[in-house]
Amino acid sequence: MKGQAATEFLMTYGWALLVVLIAISALAYFGVMSPSKFLPEKCMLSPGYQCVDYIITTNSSKMIVKNGAGENILVTNLKIGECEGNFSTQIDNGKQEEFSLTDCNNGIKDSSFRGDISITYINVISNFTKEITGEVVTKIN
């Protein structure tokens, strides 16, 4: 008799556990539990440089960069994700400039976007070419 009771107990809770697993799987499949929906938006650059504001749309990327590195720089190239553009924009120390990239393919509206940032610049005093790196995580507008 004890064996039958134990078997019935295991079968009942086994079915209940199976139903819970199927429900969790369905939620995960349909994106309800997607971790990207819970991640905060962020934009980070190398020390000395600040991503003041940014917006990523389906076909463009805009970013305001502040120079706090103690040197004047001449930005020659900006890449956000797969979108890239050439510039000749000087950012003096303590100042900020807006950069706009067009003809991008950033993804679908309201989906999450994660992209590496690469800013190539020339130090105005030394004339050396250097690179600023970073990352942006946001929702596509």
Query: Would you say 139 and 112 are in contact if contact means Cβ atoms under 8 Å apart?
Result: yes
Give the model's pLDDT for residue 12. 82
Give the model's pLDDT for residue 105. 94
pTM: 0.75
Together in a domain, 44 and 103: yes
Q: Tokens in use for 63?
A: 């970013």
Domain hosting 25: range is: 2-33
**For residue 75, which of 55, 52, 64 has the smallest C-alpha distance?**
64
Q: What are the pLDDT tens digits along the chain (141 aa)?
A: 777 877 887 788 888 888 999 988 888 888 776 666 666 889 999 999 999 999 999 999 999 999 999 999 999 999 999 999 999 999 999 999 999 999 999 999 988 899 999 999 999 999 999 999 999 999 999
Together in a domain, 22 and 73: no
Together in a domain, 19 and 66: no
> Total domain count for the chain?
2
Phi, psi torsion values for 25, nearest 5 degrees: -65, -40
CA distance from start to end of the chain: 64
Q: Tokens in use for 47?
A: 């020390």
Q: Tokens in use for 9?
A: 């107990």
Together in a domain, 75 and 134: yes
Together in a domain, 10 and 78: no
**One-letter amino acid for residue 87 of the chain:** F
What is the distance between the alpha carbons of residues 86 and 89, in angstroms, rounded to a whole number?
9
Give the model's pLDDT for residue 13. 83
What is the distance between the alpha carbons of residues 69 and 114, in angstroms, rounded to a whole number?
25
